[in-house]
Chains A and B, each alone.
Chain A
Amino acid sequence: MLKLPSVPGGAPPRPGTPAAEPASLKDNASEAAISALGWLDERTAISGTARWVMFRKVPKGTNWFYTLGTSTMMAFLSQVVTGVFLAMYYDPSPNNAYESMRHINNDVFLGQFVHGMHRWGATTMVVLIFLHMGRTFFFGAYKYPRELNWVIGVILVLLTMIMALTGYLLPWDQRSYWATAVGVNVFASAPIAGPYLGDFLRAGPEFGATTLSRFYAIHMLLLPGLIGGLIAAHLYLVIKHGTTAPPWIEAEIDEDLRKSEA
């Protein structure tokens, strides 16, 4: 049986395990798993954190709308995974980008499927993030003490929209090219800062070779990291605060307690 190094001096004998009985395969397997987890926990104390994250009290009235945040996170994770695989074939240079997308869609095994997941996943994530935002708004979950989580959420919405804009350019076909030209000009139409912002996004006054690689770097390096970090902070606060009860749930008043305190 697999034995990992344990407490120096050996673990104390487990109570209630008759030593004489021959261990079955199942017993051996669960022993091994427990031993492995025990080894990890002794060195990281992870089980306390895991319990803090997973075994939380949820308010009465919690319903399906509370799954929208997790769904958004799953959409994001799916984008990360499919994106990594697309990056293995994609070439962000103006002369090859279109050709590499064609290659992914037509030649690579399951390429069109992975590309399709990334494309539909992007739309799904945008829809889900707004539904989640609507849920927290209509349930009043943005109120004290959760204002900061709302603020983090607003930044996440903005970053998600920028992800959508920068990703749209990458197929480098007529639609993506002109849609992005329009998108950058929308940014550039802001007074005073707009013209400089436009130059920044394009890396110059005209769309060029640097524009595509710049969008690609923002899309696959800068923003995923930022979004990942912000999701971690968002979830930390969700767990710290616990979730809000739906607004139609009345607070329960313990009459005995009220009397005893009066």
Chain B
Amino acid sequence: MPDTSKNTSPYTADRNIPGAFEGETVTRRRFMTGAAHATNGIAVGMIALPAIGFALGPNFKKLEERWEAVGRPDEFSPTEYISRTITVVAGAGETGKTTVYLRERNPDIDHEPEDEYNQYIAISTRCMHLGCPVRYVPASQRFICPCHGGVYDFLGEVQGGPPVRPLDRFYTRVKDGLVELGPRFSVNSELKRFSPRDPAQDLDALGQYLFPSRPTIRKIPGT
């Protein structure tokens, strides 16, 4: 082999590489190696990228916004909850359903700003500790979680146990003389609306930044 270590010319011919062409800066062996690696990379990418996209796709797909009629306005009282079962995910059978507790807005206790979406208060049964189903107990006017002892008061605010924020709510509206129940939203300890968060995600102070909202589910813009 000719000694090429001291020769720094960009041309292979000047570096005494056997079989070099005039004006060539990359040896053909090197070029072939590079081309084979690039082809390999493209082939792997062609298989891997669609597969990864396929697996991650649902992370960017927005949950369909559903409104479901749950009764006539006169069925609801401002002082007691009644329960309704609604469908939150279509096409998943029983699994896509959830129980919601509903009552009419009561200005004596509901102090959050009034708008078209909270004439009726709809409380989600998803515990804000880790997501077990809470049950409303009329005798004590509290929501109780069976899993780790979470307790919420009449407004859904945490009274005891491990939950980190008040129970989620659902938008409600009145349409064609019926009360309709819409998408879910989350609330912080002042019952301010936030895009839905999973349980165990605090929404006070830095919480909303530590647990960002996701592309799959957002609150209704402007609320």
Q: Which chain A residues have a beta carbon within 8 Å of chain B's beta carbons?
A: 94-95, 177-178, 181-182, 184-186, 188-189, 191-192, 194-196, 198-200, 202-210, 212
**Is B92 a contact of A188 with CB atoms below 8 Å?**
no
Instruction: Please indicate the chain B residues that have their CB under 8 angstroms from the CB of A182 in the complex.
Output: 130-132, 147
Q: Which residues of A contact B198 (CB under 8 A)?
A: 184-185, 188-189, 194-195, 198
Tell me if B159 is interfacial: C-beta within 8 Å of chain A: no
Q: Report which of B89, B130, B200 forms a contact with A206, defined as CB distance below 8 A.
A: B89
Chain B residues within CB distance 8 Å of chain A? 55-56, 58-59, 61, 63, 88-89, 91-96, 130-133, 147, 196-201, 210-214, 216-217
* B133/A178 in contact, CB under 8 A: yes
Interface of chain A, helix or strand or loop or mixed? helix
Shortest CB-to-CB span from B61 to chain A, Å, is 7
Q: In the complex, A195→B96 CA distance in Å?
A: 20
Are the C-beta atoms of A195 and B95 separated by less than 8 Å? Answer: no
Q: Which residues of A contact B61 (CB under 8 A)?
A: 204
Q: What residue in chain A is nearest B56 (Cβ atoms)?
A: A200
List chain B residues, Cβ under 8 A from A207.
89, 92, 95
- The answer to whether B210 and A199 have CB atoms under 8 Å apart is no
By the criterion CB–CB under 8 Å, are A191 and B211 in contact? yes
The residue in A181, A196, A202 that gathers the most chain B C-beta atoms within 10 A of its C-beta is A181
Query: What is the CA–CA distance of A118 and B60 in the complex, to the nearest angstrom?
Result: 35
Q: A194 to B201: give the CA distance in the assembly, Å.
A: 9
Q: Using Cβ atoms and an 8 Å threshold, which residues of chain A touch B93?
A: 94-95, 209
Most B Cβ at <10 Å: residue of A94, A195, A202: A195
A205–B66 Cα gap in the complex (Å)? Answer: 14
> A196-B59, A206-B63, A206-B88 in contact; A188/B213 too (CB < 8 A)?
no
Q: Indicate which residue in B55, B58, B130, B213 contacts A195 across the interface (CB closer than 8 Å).
A: B213
The answer for the CA separation of A94 and B211 in the assembled complex, in Å, is 29
Measured in the bound complex, the distance between the Cα atoms of B195 and A195 in whole Å is: 12
| Other A-B pairs, 13, CB within 8 Å; known A189-B211, A195-B212, A207-B92 | A95-B94, A181-B130, A182-B132, A185-B198, A185-B200, A186-B130, A188-B201, A194-B201, A195-B211, A199-B59, A205-B214, A208-B89, A208-B91
Shortest Cβ distance from A155 into chain B, in angstroms?
20
State whether A185 touches B196 (Cβ < 8 A). no
Nearest B residue (CB) for A204: B58
CB distance from A173 to the nearest CB of B (A): 12
A178-B132, A185-B130 known; A206 and B96 CB under 8 Å? Answer: yes
Query: Given the complex of chains A and B, what is the CA–CA distance between A167 and B55 in angstroms?
Result: 19
Which residue on chain A has the smallest CB distance to residue B89? A208
Give the CA-CA distance A197 to B51 in the complex, in Å: 17
